[in-house]
Chain A
């Protein structure tokens, strides 16, 4: 039925992989002239992304981050080559669980979509269009559907199985996972979030979690090896410590952490968490931020707004959002996807490690808020807490059109946030991964107006109230 022609080498993962192979070869400490030279040979959309990632203040750290993404994709290819199972997971599934298995490798659909949007000419639109051609609804989530659309072409690097832990926290993603697994004829392993924060609800969630581990063991034909798991857990614990260190650095004003790190830190979280390389990249982010703190470096004359994005950000123009904001004195303190609440896992035994991972999975973004007893209450609590912690003076809800659950609670969260913490929220509308819905310049203008007319006139910072 669908008519968009996609040649084999044009699948999202295959294409992104090829491009990252090039990016991976870029040396550290490049001069501006060298960067500029490279921009000339890159296609426009990729050049735009690379320009955003190679601005001098973050250049080396960005390249290391991009190198990590390349390693992650390498892992998938290597897995395929040696007969390991490549498992497609959503962002809210802790990838360290998959890394704990010898015979499996995680690929994360939202991250792949984002890489596609960042690296490919025409961004991710062709895959979205392919999915639409099959009849999938245009209110589906592009974060997932861009990668899924590519997988549906059946001409891309393909996953062997799908793990969905979106059950009860996101209908559209759960449904998309179910559809993809059936369409490709591959297994769907799943984990339901009990929408219940009581002790009973948590206990039941653990039960489901342990059942998923059994299902994975059965599917992979591999009993989780305690030693291997411990190594992963120890890396994850180190990454968690560094995450909180980076979190604390956000508390300084002006914020020494570059805006785009909000995205990079969860880029790491959703892919390579539990590996030594991930620890290294987060450490680099911490080091750079510390160094900037020591210098008092900030890209604008003054920090005029400290914004916390309440759910997702926009990813189709990194330079137009993250860098543009900080160059205009608007700090991006993080978004809902940074609310990952990593906690140390007790590495004593298989049981203790699995319980720790279950607790981590239970508190991943979206799972924690949208899979709570109340979608708005938990979300609001988290945003209120984070905005006080980080001394935010405004919130921005990006209004990604397909997040029906967050849209359901956005109005209540906005008014309660104002009541509780006196923090104003800007509600935008757009598609976070596809530029066709609302262009970045329109979003920039709205943010600018909000900052000038609302945030600047605000009387007291968050910390002084509540």
Chain B
């Protein structure tokens, strides 16, 4: 508990401040398709862009429109208002149309010396894997050239191993949250993953050791039902806390600021660049992959079964094209599998909507007979 609570939801954390003060470089990225191992192998801190439900968007709105996802507008806001000025560059991915817009506008205004666009295919096939492998090599080259840091195969392998260690420990954390009774709440886990996404693998791994030993015998307070949450990009720890305040324990998730950021990183190639391509393109579980619905559905159903959830909340930010459409199929399939679903379309970071969200969750619990 102590360790977790000390992890703040600041953007410029003490950890990052220290890193910068020691002369370290930081690269911002947003999407789980970014091979962070590559950044870390160059001795640079990969920082996953977050907004933690930041409600202001005025500066962002001068570039993105109200028809764009508010998560992206909030992140852009923090990019433009100087909060993210500690970044030494950005790595864009085409995670979705809104993210692309966010990166383009951010760079249009801020003009970072280092800005690299990693192009991620939307399907998995040998030809797209080859292309993505080249993309990874190009990113490797770009980082090496700009930061004067050669990225050797050995350094890459080392970084991959370090992340594998983190991922294995995160799975242990999930075992603790998914068991009955759970040792951690959903809000705690999201906070932990967000914290880790602004740290090096080695340091996050050490933090996970602390958390695991602290939490081993812990149990969360009473709750009414075990639910799963899935859907679009959200780092809103407060949202999860609000949901849990109704007695709905978020026992597991399929969010990209959750299990989807680490659960599977399978790959088999001996060549580290190709291996990274396989690890990422082969394991995205994101509706941006337009031909893999069944794979995502199975992942979600397996997660739900493993955690023994009694219902699922599919949440997405208003205007999220990918999850907005995906939610329809998932709702049908989850309900067919006997898992009742609450679809929660919401505005990102909208505190004004908290009461309504809680009412909907409570009514969902009542529908479940809780």
Contacts and interface: CB of A to CB of B under 8 A. Distances in A.
Contacts, number: 132
A374 B104 contact: yes
Interface in A153-206: 164, 167-168, 170-172, 174-179, 182-183, 188, 190, 192, 194-196, 200-201, 204
Given A167-B122, A375-B104, A179 B328 contact: yes
Contacts of A344: none
Given A164-B290, A192-B122, A195-B119, A408 B98 contact: yes
A411 B62 contact: yes
Contacts of B343: 135
A373 B100 CA distance: 10
Contacts of A204: 127, 131
A409 to B, nearest CB: 7
Given A171-B97, A190-B123, A412 B105 contact: yes
B326 A175 contact: yes
A192 B128 CA distance: 9
A145 B345 CA distance: 19
B84 interface: no
A134 interface: yes
B290 A174 contact: yes
Interface stretch (A18-26, A95-103, A260-268, A398-406): A398-406
B223 to A, nearest CB: 28
A140 interface: yes
Contacts of A412: 63, 104-105, 108
Contacts of A63: none
B301 to A, nearest CB: 16
B288 A171 contact: yes
Contact of A408 (B64, B122, B287, B288): B64
Given A407-B101, A409-B101, A411-B62, A139 B324 contact: yes
The winner among A175, A195, A200, A208 for most chain B CB atoms within 10 A is A175
A410 interface: yes
Contact of A168 (B122, B287, B325): B122
Contacts of A174: 122, 290
Contacts of B96: 171
Contacts of A168: 94, 122
A182 B108 CA distance: 39
A151 to B, nearest CB: 15
A95 B319 CA distance: 30
Given A136-B325, A171-B321, A175-B322, A408 B68 contact: yes
- Chain A interface size range: 35 or more
Interface residues of B, number: 44
A407 B65 contact: yes
B132 to A, nearest CB: 10
A405 B291 CA distance: 21
Interface string B126-142: 01100100100000000
Contacts of A164: 290
A237 to B, nearest CB: 30
Contacts of A373: 117
A190 B122 CA distance: 10
Contacts of A405: 97, 100-101
A123 interface: no
Nearest to A416: B108
A34 B119 CA distance: 58
B321 A178 contact: no
B324 A140 contact: yes
A211 interface: yes
Nearest to A177: B290
Contacts of B122: 167-168, 174, 192
A404 B293 contact: no
A367 interface: no
The winner among A192, A194, A370 for most chain B CB atoms within 10 A is A192
Given A168-B122, A182-B329, A404-B97, A409 B318 contact: no
Interface in B40-87: 62-65, 67-69
Nearest to A137: B324
B104 A404 contact: no
B139 to A, nearest CB: 13
Given A190-B123, A410-B65, A172 B100 contact: no
Interface string A430-448: 0000000000000000000
B290 A178 contact: yes
B328 A135 contact: yes
A178 B102 CA distance: 25
Interface string A382-416: 00000000000000000101111101111110000
User: What 6 A-B pairs come out closest when comparing CB atoms?
Assistant: A408-B101, A137-B324, A407-B65, A172-B321, A175-B325, A405-B97
Given A171-B97, A376-B108, A404-B69, 5 more contacts: A171-B96, A375-B97, A404-B321, A408-B68, A408-B100
5 contacts: A135-B331, A172-B97, A172-B325, A195-B117, A207-B127
